[in-house]
Amino acid sequence: MNIIDRRLNPRGKNLPNRQRFIRRAKQQILESVREASSRESLREDGDSRVNIRGDSLEEPQFRLSPRAGTRFHIAPGNKRYVAGDRIPREESGGGGGAGGAGEGGEVESFEFALDRDEFIDLFLEDLELPHLMKKDFQTDDQEKLERAGYQRTGAAANLDLRLTMRLSLARRIALHRPKADEIAALEAELARAEAAGDPAAAEVAARLTRARARFGRIPFLDPLDLRYRRFAFVPKPATSAVMFCLMDVSGSMTAAMKDLAKQFYRLLYLFLKRRYRKVELVFIRHTHVAREVDEETFFHATESGGTIVSTALREMIRIMEERYPVRDWNIYAAQASDGDNMPVDNHQTVALLRDQILPLCQYYAYLEVRQEDDHLAGMSDLWRAYQRLAQDGYPIAMRRVSRRNQIYPVFRQLFSPKSETEATL
Candidate list 84, 149, 199, 378; residue touching other proteins; CB under 8 A? 84
The answer to the question of residue 40 lying near other proteins (CB under 8 A) is no
**Nearest distance, CB of residue 86 and other proteins, angstroms:** 4
* C-alpha gyration radius of the chain: 38
Distance CA 263, CA 401 (A): 11
The answer to the question of residue 61 lying near other proteins (CB under 8 A) is yes
Helix (H) or strand (E) holding 315: helix 309-323
| Residue 197, SS3 per DSSP | coil
Identify the CA nearest to 258 among candidates 302, 210, 293. Answer: 302
Distance CA 354, CA 45 (A): 38
Give residue 253's identity as a one-letter amino acid code. M
Please give the biggest Cα pair distance in the chain: 125
Distance CA 349, CA 37 (A): 34
The answer to the question of residue 112 lying near other proteins (CB under 8 A) is yes
- In sequence order, the β-bridge partners of residue 280 are 242
Helix (H) or strand (E) holding 280: strand 278-286
Specify the residue, 82 or 156, whose C-beta has the smaller distance to other proteins.
82
Cβ atoms of 344 and 372 closer than 8 Å: no
Cβ atoms of 367 and 399 closer than 8 Å: yes
The stretch near other proteins (CB under 8 A) out of 35-43, 73-81, 174-182, 268-276 is: 73-81
67-70, long-range: CB < 8 A, 24+ apart: none
Specify the residue, 51 or 240, whose C-beta has the smaller distance to other proteins.
51
The answer to the question of residue 97 lying near other proteins (CB under 8 A) is yes
| Residue 141, SS3 per DSSP | helix
| Residue 332, SS3 per DSSP | strand
Specify the residue, 79 or 217, whose C-beta has the smaller distance to other proteins.
79
Identify the CA nearest to 364 among candidates 352, 374, 376. Answer: 352
Give residue 59's identity as a one-letter amino acid code. E
The answer to the question of residue 16 lying near other proteins (CB under 8 A) is yes
The answer to the question of residue 30 lying near other proteins (CB under 8 A) is no
Candidate list 19, 27, 41, 405; residue touching other proteins; CB under 8 A? 19
Cβ atoms of 344 and 384 closer than 8 Å: no
The answer to the question of residue 105 lying near other proteins (CB under 8 A) is yes
Helix (H) or strand (E) holding 331: strand 329-337
- Neighbouring C-beta atoms of residue 63, cutoff 10 Å: 9
The stretch near other proteins (CB under 8 A) out of 76-84, 214-222, 255-263, 391-399 is: 76-84
**Nearest distance, CB of residue 59 and other proteins, angstroms:** 6
The answer to the question of residue 220 lying near other proteins (CB under 8 A) is no
Candidate list 30, 36, 42, 98; residue touching other proteins; CB under 8 A? 98
The stretch near other proteins (CB under 8 A) out of 10-18, 186-194, 218-226, 331-339 is: 10-18
Distance CA 263, CA 279 (A): 17
The stretch near other proteins (CB under 8 A) out of 88-96, 120-128, 182-190, 208-216 is: 88-96
Candidate list 40, 45, 89, 376; residue touching other proteins; CB under 8 A? 89
**E strand map for 341-408:** 363-369, 396-401
Determine the distance from the C-alpha atom of residue 316 to the mean position of all C-alpha atoms in its chain, rounded to a whole number: 26
The stretch near other proteins (CB under 8 A) out of 86-94, 118-126, 239-247, 323-331 is: 86-94
Q: How many residues bind other proteins (CB under 8 A)?
A: 67
**Nearest distance, CB of residue 40 and other proteins, angstroms:** 19
The answer to the question of residue 58 lying near other proteins (CB under 8 A) is yes
Q: Regarding beta strands 228-235 and 363-369, do their DSSP bridges make them parallel or antiparallel, or are they unpaired?
A: unpaired
**Nearest distance, CB of residue 31 and other proteins, angstroms:** 17
The answer to the question of residue 57 lying near other proteins (CB under 8 A) is yes
Candidate list 43, 67, 327, 375; residue touching other proteins; CB under 8 A? 67
Candidate list 40, 60, 149, 162; residue touching other proteins; CB under 8 A? 60
The stretch near other proteins (CB under 8 A) out of 79-87, 156-164, 242-250, 405-413 is: 79-87
- Neighbouring C-beta atoms of residue 219, cutoff 10 Å: 14
The answer to the question of residue 86 lying near other proteins (CB under 8 A) is yes
**Nearest distance, CB of residue 97 and other proteins, angstroms:** 6
The answer to the question of residue 63 lying near other proteins (CB under 8 A) is yes
Candidate list 17, 117, 294, 422; residue touching other proteins; CB under 8 A? 17
**Nearest distance, CB of residue 180 and other proteins, angstroms:** 53
Interaction site with other proteins (CB under 8 A): 1-7, 9, 11, 13-14, 16-25, 57-79, 81-89, 93-100, 104-105, 110-113
